[in-house]
């Protein structure tokens, strides 16, 4: 049996485990229990036939796809838009951003399910964002003559080592791409080791994301409600990083300030609120309205969706989560783009180039642990000149690296035209 045959068999035999996983996630986040027919390719009722198709796993990839989608729609104005996800939060983000699009889950990588998906929708082409390499999907697309692209592509050394262990499965999948559009030279070199497909360096589309005007205005409202106190926004926190930050916040004995915690996953909001209360910290919640914020509030919980830019706009300093534990970090470009000094922890392998560039530009500081994050915040608040220099460097850093989305869209459009000839 071929490697792909073994892989497909594993998917078929693993279906009970997948369903059990969804039920377990659904106990905390009920949205995971919805739309199972889409996940398993039970039936299709396509509205967006002959579409531009973008697959973005979750929230981060969906946001990163925004400027790419805009550039593609300018080049394919008559084509409808189909966006697929794997998580409920990603799906909700896409539905909010694109009310005119068809938004649904991509079926799991079962041969019949993905082949049925492609046969039903007949997309003009498909764009998989960042790290999505699905062998059965790509084999089915090649058979159906649907050009596929890996856009904003990144690959860490750790992921490369893992893929090499199953090279007989992964290499044909990567080779089938019409093009791989990498974020950096290092990503391109690693991706080229997996495939003979064209690998081009286009940059990172996250630099092209502009903060929405309404979110910046909302940030001003947040700031007015907070008052003059210094504000540290700790966003996209994961896996109980909040406990580490709250311990460090409770231990500080310097100036009065407000910690704003914005967990990445909404099902953890209540748990994070409990963490703050357990430490004797005064907590307010965004969901309770701005009126709950008081002068003695220690922690404000950002338990809302789609307002991340507003939180960053209200900050003096921003910390990017997923970096205190070995999780690879989250998007540091967003706070930098609104001119906020950026702090992050020791683990940033998912944003290796962006974090290195931000550090080199003087836009960011890397901290060893949560205590270091709080100490860096206090130091920046005490040194206004240093804080303003970092803020200016952050704005300049993001401005210098824009343009990736147009490069990706131009390359995709050219190769799609070649496939049609």
Q: Are 316 and 309 in contact (CB under 8 A)?
A: no
Rounded distance, CA 161 to CA 207, Å?
28
Rounded distance, CA 259 to CA 275, Å?
13
Give the full edge-to-edge strand order of the sheet including 317-320: 283-285, 299-301, 258-263, 231-237, 317-320, 342-344, 364-366
Rounded distance, CA 15 to CA 347, Å?
33
Rounded distance, CA 312 to CA 314, Å?
5
Rounded distance, CA 185 to CA 200, Å?
9
C-alpha distances (whole Å) from 295 to each of 30, 190, 273, 318 are: 35, 51, 18, 21
- Catalytic residue, candidates 61, 242, 307, 411: 61
Q: Are 291 and 362 in contact (CB under 8 A)?
A: no
Helix (H, G, I), strand (E, B) or coil at 237: strand
Q: Is 267 a catalytic residue?
A: no
Residue 234 φ then ψ, to 5°:
-105, 105
β-pairing verdict for 199-201 and 179-182: parallel
Rounded distance, CA 62 to CA 129, Å?
8
Rounded distance, CA 240 to CA 33, Å?
24
- The catalytic site residues sit at 61
């Amino acid at each position: 049996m071929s490697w792909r045959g073994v892989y497909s068999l594993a998917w078929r035999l693993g279906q009970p485990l997948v369903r059990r996983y969804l039920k377990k996630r659904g106990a905390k986040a009920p949205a995971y229990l919805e739309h199972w027919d889409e996940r398993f390719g039970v039936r299709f009722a396509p509205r967006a036939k002959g579409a531009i198709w973008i697959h973005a796993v979750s929230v981060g990839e969906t946001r990163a796809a925004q400027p790419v989608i805009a550039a593609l729609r300018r080049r394919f104005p008559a084509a409808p838009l189909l966006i697929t996800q794997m998580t409920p939060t990603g799906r909700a983000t896409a539905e909010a951003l694109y009310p005119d699009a068809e938004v649904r889950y991509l079926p799991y990588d079962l041969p019949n399910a993905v082949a049925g998906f492609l046969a039903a929708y007949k997309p003009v082409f498909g764009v998989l964002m960042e790290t999505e390499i699905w062998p059965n999907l790509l084999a089915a697309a090649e058979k159906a003559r649907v050009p596929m692209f890996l856009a904003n592509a990144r690959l860490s050394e750790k992921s490369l080592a893992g893929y090499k262990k199953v090279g007989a499965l992964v290499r044909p999948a990567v080779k089938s791409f019409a093009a791989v559009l990498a974020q950096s030279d290092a990503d391109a070199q690693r991706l080229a080791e997996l495939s003979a497909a064209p690998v081009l360096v286009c940059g990172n589309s996250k630099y092209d994301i502009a903060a929405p005007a309404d979110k910046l205005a909302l940030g001003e409202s947040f700031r007015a409600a907070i008052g003059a106190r210094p504000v540290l926004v700790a966003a996209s926190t994961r896996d109980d990083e909040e406990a580490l930050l709250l311990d460090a916040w409770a231990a500080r004995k310097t100036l009065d300030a407000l910690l704003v915690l914005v967990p990445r996953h909404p099902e953890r909001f209540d748990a994070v609120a409990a963490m703050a209360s357990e430490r004797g910290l005064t907590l307010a919640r965004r969901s309770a309205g701005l009126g709950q914020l008081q002068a003695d509030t220690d922690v404000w919980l950002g338990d809302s969706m789609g307002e991340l830019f507003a939180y960053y706009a209200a900050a003096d300093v921003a910390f990017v989560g997923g970096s205190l534990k070995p999780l690879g970090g989250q998007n540091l470009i967003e706070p930098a783009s609104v001119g906020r000094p950026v702090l992050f922890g020791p683990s940033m392998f998912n944003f290796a180039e962006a974090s290195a560039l931000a550090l080199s530009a003087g836009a960011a500081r890397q901290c060893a642990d949560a205590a270091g994050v709080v100490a860096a915040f206090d130091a920046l608040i005490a040194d206004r000149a240093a804080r303003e220099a970092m803020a200016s460097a952050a704005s300049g850093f993001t401005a210098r690296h824009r343009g990736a989305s147009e490069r990706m869209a131009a390359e995709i459009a050219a190769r799609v035209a070649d496939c049609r000839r």
